[in-house]
Each structure stands twice: as structure tokens, then as C-alpha cells.
Amino acid sequence: MTMSRRSGRRAGTSQTREQIAAAARTLFAEAGYDRATFRAIATEAGVDPALVVHFYGSKQELFREVMQLPPELAAALAGVADGPADEAGRRLAAFVVGGMENPASRSLVLGRIRSASSHPDAAAMVRELVGRDMVRLTAAISGDRPQLRAVLIGSQLVGILITRYVVGVEPLASLPPDQLIEQLAPPFQRLLTGSLATA
């Protein structure tokens, strides 16, 4: 009894925490950092604002925590390095398109973009997050200018996300995911293993 009650309480706590995180991700994605207030996040999560403060302290801490890649996505991104190098572009394209097709991870990336575009603190945190995620992969695959490779890959991801999923420009908006992977594989391959232009 004690055991089950205790684990019940734990599950309840982590469930509330995750509810708040999901609400925060939604609001950061839809409204941006500035307009996603603790009160609005609490309303979206259906909890008392005091609970948001209790779990996350400041909005900066909340943003930093909920905008991280979840461990399973970070592992999958790092896993793109495993396998034949000349197919790394296709593996990365499949990972990226899979992530954008999934509403939860799409909202994560969109939250980063909207927030970073609307507030300098959020921009600074997003710059830090981008460094963590993507540079690890480019550095594992190519020793040469991994930061620049990572940002150029990230910028393609941002561009596709906005034109395809947010603005819905055709024919990109209704291109089947497998065809989008085909379109992104060659430029990603170039950015992962090709030689970067040097002016």
C-alpha cells in the first residue's frame, strides 16, 4: 500500500510537471517568449500559477528546460553519425523530416524560433541549445568547421519548417514526407561531408 501510494504520488507529480512543460512548449510556439506568461501557461496546463513557479522557478529556467531536445531525440540525432558516411545526409533528412512531421517536436522547434525572434534572452538560450544539438553531430562526422555546418543545416530546417508547416507554401506544403527526405538528402550530405566553399 505504502509503495503504491508513494509511486502514485510520484507519477502525479511528474505528470503535472510534464503537463506544464507541454503547455509551455505550446505557448512558446504560438505566442513567443514574451507573451507566454506564467499565468497563460498555467491556464493552458489547467494548474495553479503557483505550481509553475514551484516546479520551474523563473521563466528562463522553464524555457531552458522545456526547449531542450528530449533525451530520445538527442540520442537519435547523435545516431545519425552511425553508418556509412555517404548516406549520412539521407539519415539526417529522415530524422529532420520525422521530427517536423511530429506535432510535439515541431512545436519544440517552432517555440525556439518564435521565442528567439521575439526576445533577446530567448535568442541567447536558443543559440546555446543549437550549439549543443547539432554541432555534436557535425563534429562527429566532419572535423572541418563543424559550427558553420551545423548552423547551415539548422537554417535549412528553420526555412522548411516555416514555408511548409507554418505558411504552407505549395507545392512544398503537400509534398509527401518521403519525397521531402529525397529533396533534403543531397544538400544535407554536402553540408555533412562535402567541402564547404571558402571565399
Residues found near its own copies in the complex (CB under 8 A): 113-114, 116-117, 123, 126-127, 130, 145, 147-148, 151-152, 154-160, 162-164, 166-172, 175-176, 178-179, 181-183, 185-187, 190, 196-199
Q: Give me the least distance between CB of 77 and its own copies, in Å please.
A: 17
42 versus 181: smaller Cβ distance to its own copies: 181
17 versus 114: smaller Cβ distance to its own copies: 114
Q: Which long-range contacts (CB under 8 A, 24 or more apart) does 119-126 make?
A: 119/32, 119/33, 119/34, 121/33, 121/60, 122/32, 122/33, 122/63, 125/60, 125/63, 125/64, 125/67, 126/67
15 versus 147: smaller Cβ distance to its own copies: 147
Q: Give me the least distance between CB of 183 and its own copies, in Å please.
A: 5
Q: Give me the least distance between CB of 127 and its own copies, in Å please.
A: 5
Cα–Cα distance measured from residue 160 to residue 100, given in angstroms and rounded to the nearest whole number: 9
41 versus 151: smaller Cβ distance to its own copies: 151
**The residue to which cell 495553479 is assigned:** 48
